[in-house]
Amino acid sequence: MPMVEVAGKSFEVDEEGYLTNLNDWNQDIAVYLAQEEKVEMTENHWDVVNFLREYYDEYQIAPAVRVLTKAVAKKLGPEKGNNKYLYELFPYGPAKQACKIAGLPKPTGCI
């Protein structure tokens, strides 16, 4: 497995750059993973990333986009819980990019 070095700490990632171990995650690696995705982290990005980590901790899965949108609307308000807003933050798909930055496992079971 490839390793990346961020802020003096080594992280194991898979071939596509996903963090191998959920518990290794910290803010430094999140910023690094975001850079790899050409995403500049703002407070709004962190809200979604932190939300995803909380969701994963509670349910042990990353939510489908539809479920994410609904849940974000409930937690952060309807102006943030919609596809347009989430795609503006994560242009290549909120699920894919935000999950990667949040250090969640690579989405599998996709069709």
Active site residues: 110
Binding-site member from 50, 61, 75, 77 for other proteins (CB under 8 A): 61
| Size of interface with other proteins, in residues (CB under 8 A) | 24
Q: 3 vs 111, which CB is nearer to other proteins? A: 111
The residue type found at 72 is: V
**Does residue number 81 form part of the binding site for other proteins (CB under 8 A)?**
no
**Does residue number 84 form part of the binding site for other proteins (CB under 8 A)?**
no
Contacts of 60 (CB under 8 A, 6+ apart): none
**Does residue number 67 form part of the binding site for other proteins (CB under 8 A)?**
yes
d(CA 42, CA 48): 10
State the nearest-atom distance from the C-beta of 85 to other proteins, in Å: 15
DSSP-derived secondary structure for 23-51: GG--HHHHHHHHHHTT----HHHHHHHHH
**Does residue number 16 form part of the binding site for other proteins (CB under 8 A)?**
no
Q: Measure Cα distances from 83 to 21, 37, 64, 86, 105 in Å.
A: 29, 19, 12, 5, 22
Query: Which parts of this chain interact with other proteins (CB under 8 A)?
Result: 58-67, 70-71, 93, 95-96, 99, 104-111
